[in-house]
Amino acid sequence: MQDWWRGSVTYQVYPRSFQDSDDDGIGDLPGITRRLDHIAALGCDAVWLSPIFRSPMADMGYDVSDYTDIDPLFGSLADFDALVARAHDLGLKVIIDQVLSHSSAQHPFFAESRSSRTNPRADWYVWADARPDGTPPNNWVSVFGGSAWEWDTRRRQYYLHNFLTSQPDFNFHNPEVQDWLLSTMRFWLDRGVDGFRLDTVNFYFHDAALRSNPPAPGNAVEPAVNPYEMQLHLHSKTQPENIGFLQRMRALLDSYDARMMVGEVGESHRAMRVMADYTRGQDRLHTAYSFEMLGPQFTAGHFRKRIADFFAGAPDGCPTWAFSNHDVIRHVSRWASHGSQDDVARLAAAMLLSFEGAICLYQGEELGQTETDIEFHELTDPPGITFWPDYKGRDGCRTPMVWDGSAQGGFTAGKPWLPVKPLQLARNAASQTGVAGSVLETYRALLRARKASAALLRGRTRFFDTPEPVLAFLRDTGTEAVACVYNLSPDPVTISVRGVAPGPVSQAARLATDRLDLGPNGYAWMAVPVAGAAIIGG
């Protein structure tokens, strides 16, 4: 099916932390292949692999030094081919991370580019002269702290790096750069991958005039922990030229059967608008996600507005929704004040798996896994080291997957690259398998119900006017409808309902003739005998 990605559920694997097959403490491709059955049994449609290319690992693989080879830490091209073959045997699509906005400083092209101002790749990265006083050409700042410009003594110029100084940005204004990056994507398409997760998809182009960014609206007197958020990034990213490159990528993927792209939109002030713009029509991204649902906000109004805003901007678009990933605190920990851990985990699963669009699950969330408390001496993440202790970085959500109750959770027999601690060990897969009502079995039941429902897979969304803390909406195809109601609080609520019948799944819910009682973090998916006839909260 060409548009298999619409309504699909993708499982994100963080390769370093999924399964170690050689006991060096780092997960690898053979280990992932061994555990693909878990993802298939969960009921997912695809697996996304975070970066596995050759890299010095300054940013855990998001600094690529060879775009067409596997880093030996993870295995070989033959191991990758075996993984793809096994995934396809299990009915799983394979999506790989493409980090196109920047490379590693150890990439041979950057070594060539910095060697002189006249070499064949002199214009492959973003270079700029210093201002007369020797300072950088503008005020752009790095996501990881400090100026986004680094002085290079060889060229006597600054180069742009939106992230680490060892992650120089490609110059997308150069057509040769675009052509070459597209050729690396073709390499993996020919190898059988089903799609790409595009890292920092709105960072490709920069303002060619190098204009400074204005301050962000509403800046506080006291600086933010990370000053990156103090700017409105009008010129350093999300440029109009980006659309043209998205169209070139889409044309490449459309020349193959049933391939897709999901883009990561890194925006603080206009995320939903950019998501809609990048997925509108048939010639851009297939789907995109932002960080709008990856933060601390946990209100019905917040979720309602994000979904409504996207479809207002792109009625024919397909968003990807996620509550956790490798860059943010796990959602069970972020939302801990809204109920018990297991109740919040199950409620979040039901909400996410009923949203219109594609869905992405992050490894371990199906166990109700929580954020690991990482001490400073255990850190590996560059921004965590830079901004400690006010920001502890991303290592806490990247700790190894916990498969069983053994010493290292069944992840490795060696010393894991990040620690497996008792709180995480207690939430292992083996202890939840086959246990009715466990978070794992709840995910499996919800995924089965979603797959069996045309309304939940493809139905449009109509929100009901319910007060906080109740989120309620209808998913409707015109011939089939499901009403979804959620209590986003640890206190019981009662709402009026008409035109619904008991549905496939619920938690702490009791449906009477004209009312629905929801206990703490309760939810219900209810059948609607006549499409569109449900009235909730009215």
Q: Which two tokens mark 230?
A: 């103090």
Q: How far apart are CA 320 and CA 261, in angstroms?
A: 11
HSE value, Cβ hemisphere, 13 Å, CA-based, for 478: 1
Tokens 């920001």, residue located: 391
Active-site residue, from 28, 97, 150, 264: 264
Going by C-alpha positions, the residue among 414, 531, 417 that lies closest to residue 480 is 531
Tell me the DSSP string of 151-196: EETTTTEEEE-SS-TTSPBB-TTSHHHHHHHHHHHHHHHHTT--EE
Phi, psi of 73 (to 5 degrees): -55, -35
| 480 counts as catalytic | no
Question: Is 482 within 8 Å of 527 (Cβ atoms)?
Answer: yes
Its sign, for the CA torsion 19, 22, 25, 29, is: negative
42's CB contacts (< 8 A; 6+ apart) are 11, 361, 366, 443, 444, 447
In the chain, what is the straight-line distance between the N-terminal and C-terminal CA atoms, in Å? 40
Question: Is 109 within 8 Å of 184 (Cβ atoms)?
Answer: no
Question: Is 290 within 8 Å of 265 (Cβ atoms)?
Answer: yes
Q: How far apart are CA 161 and CA 105, in angstroms?
A: 10
**Strand segments (E) across 259-322:** 260-264, 287-289, 320-321
Active-site residue, from 45, 59, 150, 199: 199
Axis-axis angle for helices 439-451, 29-42 (nearest 10): 70
Cis peptide before 296 (omega within 30 of 0): no
Q: How far apart are CA 304 and CA 464, in angstroms?
A: 10
| 59 counts as catalytic | no
SS3 12: strand
295's CB contacts (< 8 A; 6+ apart) are 328, 334
> What are the helix (H) ranges across 353-408?
382-387
Q: How far apart are CA 401 and CA 427, in angstroms?
A: 10
DSSP code for 433: T
Q: How far apart are CA 537 and CA 525, in angstroms?
A: 15
Q: Which residues are catalytic?
A: 199, 264
